[in-house]
């Protein structure tokens, strides 16, 4: 027997022989437990007879409830039933959902006013729970987080909703006001929910398994913020050459990557730190620079040049030894 899902739309191709040719006819495919009860129908589809087999397309949506149904095709001429066919095989409607109540998913968004809404999508297959007086669904939902590897619920809310027909997907909105959201701890990473079926008198007849979704995006309602930009590149200063002529010490250096705020140049006697000959300042802009400093003493053994600089958040220095 062919099997279809509830509500699935299929098209039957029926070879109908109606004589004589040229008649304005209508064909109807319907499903049901018997020929007097229609639970699904294609409606009447017009066609013109040819006196031989004519393929007529009969689109139909399957019944919404699981079970086995029979198929019938009636042919009408002038509003009167002219021909009647019975399908050779019964049709089985198989639910894609397990028996009971199933939560299909949870999404959420943080509203502009600071409140939080979670949307619990669920479906049921309980044949004894249908829209009727006193019947309702209780949908419970809470944000949660992991603490030391253990899931911790935070703030359960309960929302009563209408009872949908079996196999009819429904989405229930759960709400947390801004005051509650403001008190929620950090690290919330998802939601947990379950749905309970009640009939008159608060009699519970079924409940879904607990459903947990872990998705930080849905908790915040917006995509995660982009990672912070990397820190600005560090300034790099390289001393390319040092020359000494008498008391004059000339330093050539280059600044790269980014400008720096301060550049201080100190010239010390080679191998005799701290024996300062002279100090001064230089440019911190990106590029090549030359600074000449004049000491009150003439270097004899050699010099070591230090450049100390601040590149926005770090003090750094570089050195260049020169021995005569």
| Confidence label for 232 from pLDDT (cuts 50, 70 and 90) | low
For the ranges 56-60, 158-162, 312-316, the maximum mean pLDDT occurs at: 56-60
The string of pLDDT tens digits covering residues 124-165 is 888 788 888 788 899 999 988 777 767 788 888 998 888 888
Predicted local distance difference test score (pLDDT) of residue 17: 93
Average per-residue pLDDT in the chain? 85
The string of pLDDT tens digits covering residues 266-303 is 998 887 666 788 999 999 999 999 999 999 888 888 88
| Confidence label for 228 from pLDDT (cuts 50, 70 and 90) | low
The string of pLDDT tens digits covering residues 123-134 is 988 878 888 878
Tokens describing residue 248: 């004059």
Domains and CATH numbers, the chain: 3-93 (2.60.40.10), 101-220 (2.60.40.2150), 236-323 (2.60.40.150)
The 3 state secondary structure assigned to the chain is CCEECCCCEEEEEEEEECCCCCCEEEEEEEEECECCECCEECCCEEEECCCCEEEEEEEEECCCCCEEEEEEEEEEECCEEEEEEECCCCEEECCCCCCCEEEEEEEEEECCCCCEEEEEEEEECCCCCCCCCCCEEEEEEEEEEEECCEEEECCCEEEEECCCCCCCCEEEEEEECHHHHHCCCCCCCEEEEEEEEEECCCEEEEECCCEEEECHHHHHCCCCCCCCCCCCCCCEEEEEEEEEECCEEEEEEEEECCCCCEEEEEEEECCCCCCEEEEEECCCCCEEEEEEEECCCCCCCEEEEEEEEECCCCEEEEEEEEEC
Distance of CA 72 to the CA centre of its chain: 46
Predicted local distance difference test score (pLDDT) of residue 182: 85
| Confidence label for 48 from pLDDT (cuts 50, 70 and 90) | very high
Examine residue 12 and say whether the peptide bond preceding it is cis (omega within 30 degrees of 0): no
The sign one gets for the Cα dihedral 274, 277, 282, 287 is: negative
Phi and psi of 322, rounded to 5°?
-140, 115
Q: Is 172 or 216 the better-scoring residue by pLDDT?
A: 172
| Confidence label for 221 from pLDDT (cuts 50, 70 and 90) | very low
Q: Residue 252: pLDDT above 90?
A: yes
Angle at 96 between CA 92 and CA 99, to 5 degrees: 95
For the ranges 21-35, 103-117, 137-151, 229-243, the maximum mean pLDDT occurs at: 21-35
Q: Residue 220: pLDDT above 80?
A: no
The string of pLDDT tens digits covering residues 113-122 is 888 888 999 9
Mean pLDDT of 55-64: 92
| Confidence label for 227 from pLDDT (cuts 50, 70 and 90) | low
């Amino acid at each position: 027997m062919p099997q279809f899902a509830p509500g699935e739309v299929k098209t039957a191709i029926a070879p109908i022989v109606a004589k004589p040719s040229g008649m304005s006819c209508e064909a109807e495919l319907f499903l049901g437990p018997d020929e007097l009860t229609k639970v699904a129908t294609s409606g009447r589809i017009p066609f013109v007879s040819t006196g031989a087999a004519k393929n007529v397309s009969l689109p139909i949506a399957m019944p919404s409830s699981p079970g086995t149904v029979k198929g019938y095709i009636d042919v009408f001429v002038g509003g009167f039933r002219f021909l009647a066919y019975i399908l050779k095989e019964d049709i089985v409607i198989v639910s894609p959902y397990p028996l009971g109540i199933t939560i299909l998913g949870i999404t959420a968004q943080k509203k502009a006013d600071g409140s939080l809404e979670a949307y619990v999508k669920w479906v049921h297959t309980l044949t004894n729970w249908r829209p009727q007086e006193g019947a309702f669904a209780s949908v419970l939902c809470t944000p949660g987080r992991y603490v030391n590897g253990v899931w911790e619920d935070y703030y359960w809310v309960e929302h009563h909703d209408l009872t949908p027909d079996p196999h009819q997907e429904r989405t229930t909105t759960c709400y947390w006001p801004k005051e509650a959201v403001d008190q929620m701890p950090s690290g919330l990473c998802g939601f947990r929910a379950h749905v309970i079926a009640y009939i008159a008198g608060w009699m519970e007849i079924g409940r879904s398994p607990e459903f947990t979704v872990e998705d930080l995006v849905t908790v915040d309602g917006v995509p995660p913020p982009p990672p912070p930009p990397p820190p600005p590149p560090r300034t790099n200063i390289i001393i390319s050459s040092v020359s000494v002529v008498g008391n004059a010490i000339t330093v050539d250096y280059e600044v790269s990557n980014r400008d720096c705020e301060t550049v201080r140049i100190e010239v010390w006697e080679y191998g005799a730190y701290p024996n300062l000959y002279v100090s001064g300042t230089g440019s911190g802009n990106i590029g090549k620079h030359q600074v000449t400093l004049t000491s009150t003493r003439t270097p004899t053994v050699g010099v070591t040049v230090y450049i100390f600089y601040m590149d926005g958040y770090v003090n750094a220095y570089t050195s260049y030894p020169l021995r005569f």
